[in-house]
Amino acid sequence: MDSSWSSVLEPHANQISILLNELEGDLSNQYLPLREHIFRALNLPRDKVKTIIIGQDPYPTLGMAEGLAFSVPGTIAIGKIPPSLRNIFTEYRSDLGYGQPTTGHLGGWVESGVLLLNRILTVSPGKPLSHKGKGWEEITDSILRSLVERDLPVIAWGKPAENAALRLGFRHIVASPHPSPLSAYRGFFGSQPFSRINQILLSQQREPIDWHLT
For residue range 40-83, what is the model confidence (pLDDT) as tens digits? 999 999 999 999 999 999 999 999 999 999 999 999 999 999 99
For the chain, the first-to-last Cα distance in angstroms comes to 25
Check residue 40 and give its pLDDT.
98
57 is annotated as an active-site residue:
yes
CA separation for the pair 33, 165 (Å, rounded)? 24
| 8 Å CB contact between 103 and 151 | no
Check residue 30 and give its pLDDT.
87
- Average pLDDT of the segment spanning 153-179: 97
CA separation for the pair 209, 214 (Å, rounded)? 15
Position 100: which residue type? Q
Domains in the chain (CATH in brackets) are 3-203 (3.40.470.10)
Check residue 203 and give its pLDDT.
98
> Backbone phi, then psi, for 4, in 5-degree steps?
-65, -15
Q: What is the CA radius of gyration of the chain?
A: 16
Widest pairwise Cα distance in the chain = 51
Average pLDDT of the chain? 96
Percent of the chain past pLDDT 90, that is, above it, reads 96
For residue range 76-111, what is the model confidence (pLDDT) as tens digits? 999 999 999 999 999 999 999 999 999 999 999 999
SS3 7: helix
| pLDDT at 134 exceeding the cut of 70 | yes
Highest mean pLDDT of the ranges 17-26, 28-37, 173-182: 173-182
The continuous run of DSSP H or E covering 173 comes out as: strand 173-176
CA separation for the pair 96, 198 (Å, rounded)? 11
Of residues 2, 26, 57, 95, which has the active-site annotation?
Answer: 57
| pLDDT at 166 exceeding the cut of 80 | yes
Taking phi over 0 as left and psi of -120 to 50 as alpha, with beta for the rest, 73 belongs to beta
| pLDDT at 189 exceeding the cut of 90 | yes
Instruction: Please compute, for residue 154, the number of CA atoms within 13 A of its CA located in the half-sphere on the CB side.
Output: 28
Return the bridge partners of 118, or none.
55
Burial of 107 (0-12, 13-18, 19+ CB in 10 A): middle
- Average pLDDT of the segment spanning 179-186: 96
